[in-house]
Amino acid sequence: MNPERHIREPNSSISEKLSTEFRRIIEQHAIYCVYQPIVSLQDGAVYGYEALTRGPRNSIFHSPMELFKYAEKTGTLYALDKMAREKAIQGSILDHDQQLLFINISSEVIYDPQFIPGKTLEILQKYGLDPRNVVFEITERSSIEDFALAKKILEHYRKQGYRIAIDDAGAGYSSLQAIAELHPDFVKIDRSLIQDIHTNKIKEYILETFVTFAQKMNIQLIAEGIEHRDELTKLTRMGIHYAQGYLLGKPELHPASISEDQRGLILEYRKLHSGGTSWSIGDLVTPIQMFDRKAIISEVANYFKINVDAVGAVIVSDDVPVGLIMREHLFRQLSAQYGFSLFWNRTIDHVMDEFPLIVDEQMAVELVSQMATSRSIQNLYDLVIITSSNKMAGVASIRTILESITNVRMETARVANPLTGLPGNLQINRDLHKRLKEQKTFSVIYADLDYFKWYNDRFGFQKGDQLIQFTADILQQAIAVCGSLYDFVGHVGGDDFIAISMIPNPELLCQEMIRRFEQGVHRFYGGEDWDYIEDRSGNRIQSEGVTLSLSLVVCQCESPVSLEQISYASAILKKKAKAYNGSVYFSHHIGAAGAAI
């Protein structure tokens, strides 16, 4: 037997089976979509879903990687991509018309002669969706070769209302160039940059660059592949807009909405990130006139004529906002040629803006500002509609939003610590007075670095600042993991911090702070060794380096407690902790009968 033929026959057989199986999938439309939630890191609401294609469950082409790789190899990528888009739209599970459906499109498909504008719109209309609900997510299975042509094609879709996302930023062939050339609405940060970001400073610095860039370009960032709470905490504190990953929801045919516990965690992390100084958009809500979507235009026009200061009105259906009509837009429509005769007796839903900016009352004012100011120039000064549990709550004007941001930034800059951005002494004292007034049990943890002067002298002030920032990070991370919704972290100054917590077992919080500190502090030594270190008096001491001393004062408030008592108890505990070689905490209860150190 010819050995070459003996080798070729199995390969030929496998190739034929693959071809037959793939052809069957295409002919029978034997693919389906699962949906993974994309969650807002401002209010914990589900912002949209990414549609992910799957082949038949028992097929070699079940994996989308194998499926699309084979289609690309055999020149059938467009046929598969078109089918995947239709399946994604057909099975769409959007809860309301403000949510988005993210649909993957290979960069190669853009150039395909069969990529005919209008085909996706036909599919959307068939299933009752609108282009403004769809985000084309450009995947980089291969690099984009002709950015000018790609930009021209995508601009056509943008004009219809579609939005554009660049996938796998930080891992693709040319994702940075794609961002620069295509000016996407969203950038999805690849899992490779997200994994363990809470312990990897290099990844953190790279992501900080993305955040700064996104703010300047009005781009929304989506972090992919989040699997751990620490990652979520860090990303929320860094100002990432949206998150996606197994921690928040797995890809499923009908994924459950994010749980209240998960939403509570995100709101808690957001509070920690803002240091308690940021406003939610609900704080700015003002009432506004509402009309049913079937109200006659003449009725709305007469309202504006009588109420000369009214700039707009919200159009609702069963108390759910479905549109916005601005005074200027309505009168411009009516004053056009034949406008009066065409519109006067028609219903308001014929001329309203069907896609105004609608946000939940919990969303941070700064994020709403970014969303509002990234709108087209025609809608830049339109009112922002605010909802509570998806029901109409009121509106906020652009002027009010920008003024509130200015006030918050001025207040934060005035009282926050400039190195860590954490609340300073003024806010710390406010928080302590508030808790003492409430007379509920709470705990105060004073944190202090041991031998920090030695570290500063040996490694320099820049490294010292980095160690201070690291300490601020681990305290906040520990609070996020073990603390409660109303906990607080402040920076007294230098290497002194304070944490205030309402949890019933604050000892666990101290243990978590020490664990995180010990786990990460070694990387600040750069591999150096030493025989001894020096304390502030110049005495030589055997030590492995900087340690963390914690003083835990539990205020039971069964009897009156004062700030002086808290400070006195903390000073004694700090002295005990400093006498101990290594990271440690000592605790004491005050405000209860018989309590003694």
Q: Does 86 lie in the same domain as 231?
A: yes
Q: Does 421 lie in the same domain as 352?
A: no
Of the three residues 376, 404, 432, the one that is the final residue of a domain is 404
**Cβ distance 227 to 470 under 8 Å?**
no
pLDDT value for 50: 95
Mean pLDDT taken over the chain: 85
Average the pLDDT over 442-459 and give the result.
94
Structure confidence by residue, pLDDT tens digits, 163-194: 999 887 766 555 677 888 888 899 999 999 99
Structure confidence by residue, pLDDT tens digits, 98-116: 789 999 887 777 766 656 5
Across 22-26, 287-291, 427-431, which has the greatest mean pLDDT?
Answer: 287-291
CA atoms 458, 459, 464, 465: torsion sign: positive
Q: How many domains does the chain have?
A: 3
Whether residue 312 lies inside any domain: the answer is: yes
Of 32-41, 129-138, 172-181, the poorest mean pLDDT is in 172-181
pLDDT value for 214: 84
Give the DSSP letter of residue 593.
T
Alpha-carbon radius of gyration of the chain: 29
Structure confidence by residue, pLDDT tens digits, 361-377: 878 788 788 788 878 78
pLDDT value for 546: 94
Across 160-169, 231-240, 453-462, which has the greatest mean pLDDT?
Answer: 453-462
Average the pLDDT over 313-333 and give the result.
94
Average the pLDDT over 521-530 and give the result.
88
Angstrom distance (rounded) from CA 41 to CA 246: 15
Average the pLDDT over 519-528 and give the result.
90
The percentage of residues in the chain with a pLDDT greater than 70, rounded to a whole number, is 90
Whether residue 355 lies inside any domain: the answer is: yes
pLDDT value for 9: 44
Q: Give alpha helix (H) positions in 218-274.
A: 229-238, 260-274
CATH code of 183's domain = 3.20.20.450
Average the pLDDT over 209-217 and give the result.
82
Whether residue 595 lies inside any domain: the answer is: no
CATH code of 470's domain = 3.30.70.270
pLDDT value for 6: 42
pLDDT value for 275: 45
Whether residue 227 lies inside any domain: the answer is: yes
Pairing mode, strands 242-243 and 290-292: unpaired
At position 452, the amino acid (one-letter code) is: F
CATH code of 367's domain = 3.10.580.10
pLDDT value for 276: 45
Q: How many CB atoms lie within 10 A of CB 577?
A: 23
Show the domain range for 123: 31-269
pLDDT value for 118: 63
- pLDDT of 92 higher than 90: no
List, in sequence order, every beta strand (DSSP E) within 431-561: 442-450, 488-493, 496-501, 533-534, 540-541, 547-555
Whether residue 114 lies inside any domain: the answer is: yes
Q: Does 325 lie in the same domain as 204?
A: no
**Between residues 142 and 283, which one has the greater pLDDT?**
283
- As to burial, measured by CB atoms within 10 angstroms (0-12 exposed, 13-18 middle, 19+ buried), residue 353 is middle
Angstrom distance (rounded) from CA 231 to CA 269: 11
Q: Does 186 lie in the same domain as 64?
A: yes
The percentage of residues in the chain with a pLDDT greater than 90, rounded to a whole number, is 40
Angstrom distance (rounded) from CA 255 to CA 292: 33
**Cβ distance 105 to 89 under 8 Å?**
no
- pLDDT of 409 higher than 90: no
Whether residue 1 lies inside any domain: the answer is: no
Q: Does 371 lie in the same domain as 330?
A: yes
Q: Does 147 lie in the same domain as 263?
A: yes
pLDDT value for 441: 92
**Cβ distance 238 to 221 under 8 Å?**
no
Whether residue 137 lies inside any domain: the answer is: yes
Q: Does 169 lie in the same domain as 52?
A: yes
What are the angstrom distances between the C-alpha of 306 and each of 289, 299, 301, 462, 535? Answer: 13, 11, 9, 64, 76
- pLDDT of 352 higher than 50: yes
**Between residues 328 and 539, which one has the greater pLDDT?**
328
- As to burial, measured by CB atoms within 10 angstroms (0-12 exposed, 13-18 middle, 19+ buried), residue 111 is middle
Q: Does 363 lie in the same domain as 264?
A: no
Residues contacting 313, CB < 8 A, separation 6+: 288, 289, 290, 291, 300, 303, 304, 324, 325
- pLDDT of 539 higher than 90: no
**Between residues 513 and 261, which one has the greater pLDDT?**
513
Q: Does 376 lie in the same domain as 241?
A: no
Going by C-alpha positions, the residue among 506, 594, 508 that lies closest to residue 552 is 506
pLDDT value for 268: 63
Whether residue 310 lies inside any domain: the answer is: yes
Of the three residues 269, 290, 315, the one that is the final residue of a domain is 269
Going by C-alpha positions, the residue among 211, 251, 194 that lies closest to residue 63 is 251
**Cβ distance 104 to 84 under 8 Å?**
yes
Angstrom distance (rounded) from CA 209 to CA 71: 36
Q: Does 328 lie in the same domain as 438?
A: no
Q: Does 228 lie in the same domain as 170?
A: yes
pLDDT value for 11: 64
Q: Does 298 lie in the same domain as 244?
A: no
Of the three residues 237, 269, 301, the one that is the final residue of a domain is 269
Statement: the pTM of the whole predicted model exceeds 0.85: no
Structure confidence by residue, pLDDT tens digits, 263-307: 776 776 665 445 444 578 888 999 999 999 999 999 999 999 999
Confidence of residue 8 (pLDDT cuts 50, 70, 90): very low
